[in-house]
Structure 1
């Protein structure tokens, strides 16, 4: 499906989100290092865990609200909320005020608004794209994000250290502008919901009760529950891209010569190695997502999901065994291949399981594998103090293998359920 044939909503989002994501990735990869320097590794890791707890609840509520009040409304609210949070973060990093605590709270609030945005945005794609084209559309949006992952950190490596205040200020205004563009240029796509009566005679907890009832129905879907659990375990590996990996590189990778020609050589600092490795990840994803997604479409989903987790485990082992820049580059190539294998297929798999009137909630519940992973993953930073880097990497690799086993069990259950429905 060509982009020119897309629904206008998706065209507006594709280009506007690209602008917002580039700005975001100019400073986001460096925030773990910033908080670790300001608070220490132990406290920074625990604070990042704490900040993500609220995002889990916001994510679930975001899916409920996307189904009840509309995709567009929630996306506009989320984009503007993120923008205001970044403006406060900018003020806390300004020449007139230095407050890491205000910065951290603003970062946490921005994460909450981001959790509101995700399920609505994914449900909108499922609303307007036929099932046969969904994996490719999801893959293109994923590619767009990773183009930002290439461009953003490169620009951030140049400007972040000396211009953090200005970057955060720009990010805030860009998010607010994005929200206004969504409000003006997109339409609502959510199917009409029959139970939107929220009249005054309802108790204050009616909204929460209905939300919990709907999610209870989702959790009873054993296939879907196993999908989330396996994703959370795998997520402990891929969430380390902007958590453990930058701290590991900062601690162990010294100045190195990237390449030499005769008497001339190009030497980079340890901190710059992370920028190169992160840019490599984004570049490979931007270049290969659509190709790998089409390639993986030829294989049974079970084999792709299981193999992806195994390759994640291999990549994390390679990371743990090298401080050499070219070894890290190779590890990141393996890591990225694992990421690409399930990039489009997993979202398409969710849309296959979700009833039309509950797509927002299913995508919200599915993204729990990201929000819960993001909640637990920062523990890897204090774990390096408690048990050392080697054992921390070993634990992450083991969790990735455990996720592969859970994916296998999930598909066994899925096949039995499909067979019984087919025979009835």
Structure 2
């Protein structure tokens, strides 16, 4: 499906959200560094865990709000809320007032509004795009995010540490502009049946509890439970892209020469080094996702899932063993290859496990791999105080290896189940 054939709401959103994503990635990867410097690694890790708990709770009710109040309404509200949060963040880093604690509060509020925005955003795409074209549209939005991951950190390495106040003002302006675009050029897409469905007897809290109870499918399906457990374990590695890796890069690279020709010497600081690493990850994802996904389908799923976790483990050890910039670049390449191997296979495997009449519930429950993984992952920052960087990376690598073992065992049980069903 060509972009020019898209619904108008999708076209303007692609532009507005693209700019918003670039702005977001100009500061988000550096927040772990900012909070670690301000509060210390131990406190920063606990605060980031607390922030993610708020986001998980907001995500649980985000879909309910989108269904009850409308996609467009929630997206506009969330964009305005994020804009106000970034204004508060700017104030906390203004020339006349400095408060890292207020900055953390502002970031947490912005994260909550972001969790309210995305369920409505994804639902709107499903509302206006036919099923046969949805994967193409989602792919375009996914690609735009990865372009932002490439550009944002490079710019952020320049602006975040020297012009944080101005950057946050710009982020607020972008959010308000996105809200105006959504108000001016989009229409409500929530299905009529949703509007007619009475939810007056439900409170947001009762709906949230009902959604949590729906995850009982995990306990009743042992294979699916193994899949989620393995995903949570492997998430402790790839979630470090925005947590441990930036803190480590800043600590081990002060000013380092990365290229010397004669009298000419190119040096790089820690924050700019991390900006390049995160951009490397985004560029490789944008360029190689389709190629590696097609390559991976040629092999047995159990081998690909296990190998992905093994590569995550290898990359963690490589990060912990080197302070050389080009060594970190190689480690990031291994990390990204492990990420790309299972990008397409995960969703496909979930659909295999799910009964046809329960696919929505299974996909919703599968998101626990990320929500719980994201909540636990910040503990890696205080771990560096308790054990040091090398042992922290080693522990993360061991968790990834356990994940590989769980995946392999899960697929053995899955093959046995398929065999017994075919015989029966």
Do the two structures share a fold, i.e. TM-score over 0.5?
yes
Q: How does 1:119-158 map to 2 (within 5 A)?
A: 119-125=119-125, 137-158=137-158
TM-fit CA distance, 1:217: 4.6
Q: Where does structure 1 lack aligned partners over 5 or more consecutive residues?
A: none
Residue in structure 2 matched with residue 261 of structure 1 by the alignment = 261
Structure-2 residue corresponding to 1:405: 405
- Partner of residue 320, structure 1: 320
Using a 3 Å threshold, how does the CA distance of structure 1 residues 321 and 361 change in structure 2: closer, same or farther? Answer: same
Residue of structure 1 in register with 2:388 after alignment: 388
Q: CA deviation at 1:87?
A: 1.8
Q: Flag the 1:237–1:207 CA change in 2: closer, same or farther, 3 A.
A: closer
* Separation (CA, whole Å) in 2 of partners of 1:363 and 1:313: 26
Which residues of structure 2 form unaligned runs of 5+? Answer: none
| Alpha carbons of structure 1 residues 77 and 281: separation in structure 2 relative to 1, 3 Å | same
Confirm or deny that 1:188 pairs with 2:207: no
Relative distance call for 1:225 and 1:134 in structure 2 (3 A) is farther
Query: In structure 1, the residue corresponding to 2:94 is in which secondary structure?
Result: coil
Name the SS for the 2:266 alignment partner. Answer: strand
1-structure distance, mates of 2:294, 2:136: 8
The change in CA–CA distance for 1:38 and 1:405 in structure 2 (over 3 A counts) is: same
Does residue 1:48 correspond to 2:16, yes or no? no
Q: Secondary structure at the match of 1:188?
A: coil
SS at 1:161 equivalent: coil
Pairing 1:147-186 to 2, within 5 Å after superposition? 147-183=147-183, 184-185=185-186
* 1:139-184 deviation per Cα after TM superposition (whole angstroms, max 9, x unaligned): 4433321211111111112222222112112212222332343443
1:290 deviation in Å?
2.8
Counterpart-to-counterpart distance in 2, 1:277 and 1:100: 26
Which residue of the partner structure matches residue 340 of structure 1? 340
Tell me the SS of whatever aligns to 1:268: strand
Alignment match, 1:199? 200
CA 1:125–1:416 in structure 2 vs 1: closer, same or farther (change >3 Å)? farther
- Deviation digits for residues 185-209 of structure 1 (CA, Å, limit 9, x no counterpart): 2552668459932236x67864345
The corresponding residue for 1:306 is 306
Q: Residue by residue, what CA displacement relative to the aligned partner does 1:377-407 show, whole Å, maximum 9, x if unpaired? A: 1111111111111211111011111222232
Give distance in 2, aligned partners of 1:68 and 1:218.
27
Q: Distance in 2 between matches of 1:90 and 1:357?
A: 48
State the distance in 2 between where 1:25 and 1:118 align.
16
Q: In 2, Cα distance between the equivalents of 1:151 and 1:190?
A: 36
Q: Counterparts of 1:236-275 in structure 2 under 5 Å?
A: 236-275=236-275
Which structure exhibits the higher relative contact order, with contacts defined as CA atoms closer than 8 Å and separated by 6 or more residues? 1
Residues in 1 aligned to 2:293 and 2:159: alpha-carbon distance in whole angstroms: 34
Instruction: Verify: 1:15 aligned to 2:15, yes or no.
Output: yes
CA distance in 2, matches of 1:10, 1:354: 30
2:106 maps to what in 1? 106
Structure-1 residue corresponding to 2:86: 86
Deviation at 1:88, TM superposition (A): 1.6
Q: Measure the CA separation in 2 of the matches of 1:153 and 1:99.
A: 23
1:140, 1:290 within 8 Å by CA — same for their partners in 2? no
1:252–1:342 CA distance, 2 compared to 1 (3 A): same
How does the TM-score come out when normalised to structure 2? Answer: 0.86
Residues 1:187 and 1:252: Cα distance change in structure 2 (over 3 Å): same
* CA shift in 2, pair 1:410/1:269, >3 Å: same
Does the CA-based 8 Å contact 2:285-2:340 persist in structure 1?
yes
Cα distance change of structure 1 residues 397 and 365 upon mapping to structure 2, 3 Å threshold: same
Q: Matches of 2:345 and 2:73 in 1, distance apart?
A: 27
* TM-score, normalised with respect to structure 1: 0.86
Q: Distance in 1 between matches of 2:28 and 2:376?
A: 18
Partners of 1:173 and 1:97 in 2: CA distance = 20
RMSD: 3.3
2:145 match: secondary structure: helix
Match of 2:278 in 1: 278
CA deviation string 1:9-33 (max 9, x = no partner): 5444333221111001111111111
Q: Would you say the 8 A contact 1:67–1:359 is kept in 2?
A: no
Measured in 1, the distance between the counterparts of 2:54 and 2:310 equals 30
Instruction: State how far apart, in whole Å, the 2-side matches of 1:269 and 1:199 are.
Output: 56
**Contact 1:67/1:361 (8 A) holds in 2:** no
CA contact under 8 A between 1:135 and 1:344: conserved in structure 2?
A: no
